[in-house]
Amino acid sequence: MTHPNLGEVHPPVYQAMLELDDRAARAAAESGLDARLVELVKIRASQLNGCAFCLRMHVADAIAHGESAERLAVIAAWWESQYFTEAERAALQLTERVTRIGDHGRLPDRGVDPAAHLDERQHAAVAWLVVVINAWNRIAITSHYPVGPED
């Protein structure tokens, strides 16, 4: 079975996705969200969705923004660690809620209220980031983007 590269088959739709991504990134920056928090959100959503392509990309981006290997190692169990700030924990909780929206009744309570640690603009910016990365995850997985060691 062949898997079409969605962006190559319908470039205008892909371009619209790039524009949405850019606008979500600007909203995050304008609301004062740290670049490392933005990457943590993208990494966590990509973990939940099983998107190797986006994981590789956003882990590299996080490292470029100064993220530590220790924090990256425990992000999949962020609620069990003391590595993350309250704002990061709130963003990660929101990431899980939006990414697993269909499981709303079965989501574990991580003990974090995003509204207590993110203002309205930040909360909305994180939600947009999650919506966008979830779309990118689906594009990459559906298109079967190759993921392997880079030479």
The 3 state secondary structure assigned to 14-74 is HHHHHHHHHHHHHHHHHCCCCHHHHHHHHHHHHHHHCCHHHHHHHHHHHHHCCCCHHHHHH
The span from the CA of 97 to the CA of 114, in Å, is 10
**What domain range includes position 131?**
7-143
Within-domain flag for 2:
no
Within-domain flag for 149:
no
**Per-residue confidence of the chain (151 residues) as pLDDT tens digits?**
688 999 999 999 999 999 999 999 999 999 999 999 999 999 999 999 999 999 999 999 999 999 999 999 999 999 999 999 999 999 999 999 999 988 876 666 777 777 788 999 999 999 999 999 999 999 999 999 888 887 6
Site of tokens 């959503």:
45
Within-domain flag for 1:
no
Within-domain flag for 109:
yes
Q: Which CATH number goes with the domain that contains 126?
A: 1.20.1290.10
- Give me the number of domains the chain comprises: 1
